[in-house]
Amino acid sequence: MPRMYIEIKPLVIEMKGPLALNTGFRRGLIHRTVERDAEGLVYIPASSLKGRVRHACEQVARKFGLRVCHAPRPAGMCSAHTPKPCLVCRVFGTPGRGSELRWQDARLVEEYRDILAGDEARRQAQFYVRTQVQLSRRLGTATPDRLFTSEFALENLRFESAITGWLDVTPIAGEDATGGYELLLLLAGLRLVHTLGSGSSRGAGHCAIHLPEQVIVGMKPVQVADILDNFDLLGEFTREMENGD
């Protein structure tokens, strides 16, 4: 199977509301704080973006009846010794055999960085705090004495990321110029992501990921629309793999 260089950039993430990508650590009276970079600006870690896109790609693959392993538990996933890893693992890697695609942290676009960087007052203006209450799953009511505070990033921020690196591709109908089934699945998964972070049931994290018009496949520009035109052929991946034996 051909090994091809892939470049997807810029990858623009447009938030439709506040963002709650929590660190798991508290700060003072705030129980759930938002991720910050070295400059004190909110950002989306590459690992969070990659995990969410992988989940979306799993949904797409299942829609077409393709085999999908049981991530993120290593025991249920394809491994470095699996002779025919599932299509999702071919894109995102497996335990013992990582992907050669590199995901960049999603940083604020320059327009927002210019506004929010600088003094401490501007940096703090990115965030606000909500007081919330823990709900009892059994009773469906508020749990007594279980108030907590969560930090959110401002509504309607825009971030920019990129995905670059190498991908072993499975040609579609003998044609690999569009990045094969692997790139097709990745782009379809990116388009399916509509939430990031936590709190989507409370209106947080809703977003849209905007793909570039062109991506680089094997050092050549290819229209994203031309790749996605093959979307209905995703279900043929298993047959292509069998015919390739």
Query: What is the per-residue pLDDT across 202-221, written as a single tens digit (0 to 9) for each?
Result: 778 899 999 999 999 998 99
Report yes or no: 5 and 158 within 8 Å, Cβ to Cβ. Answer: no
pLDDT of residue 186: 98
Res. 140 pLDDT band, cuts 50 70 90: low
Mean of pLDDT values over 15-40:
74
pTM of the predicted model, to two decimals?
0.88
Report yes or no: 81 and 89 within 8 Å, Cβ to Cβ. Answer: no
Q: Which of 210, 196, 192 lies closest to 18 in space, CA to CA?
A: 196
> What letters, b where the CB count within 10 A reaches 16 and e where it falls short, cover 160-199?
bbbbeeebebbbbeeebbbbbbbbbbbbbbbbbbeebbbb
pLDDT of residue 150: 77
pLDDT of residue 234: 95
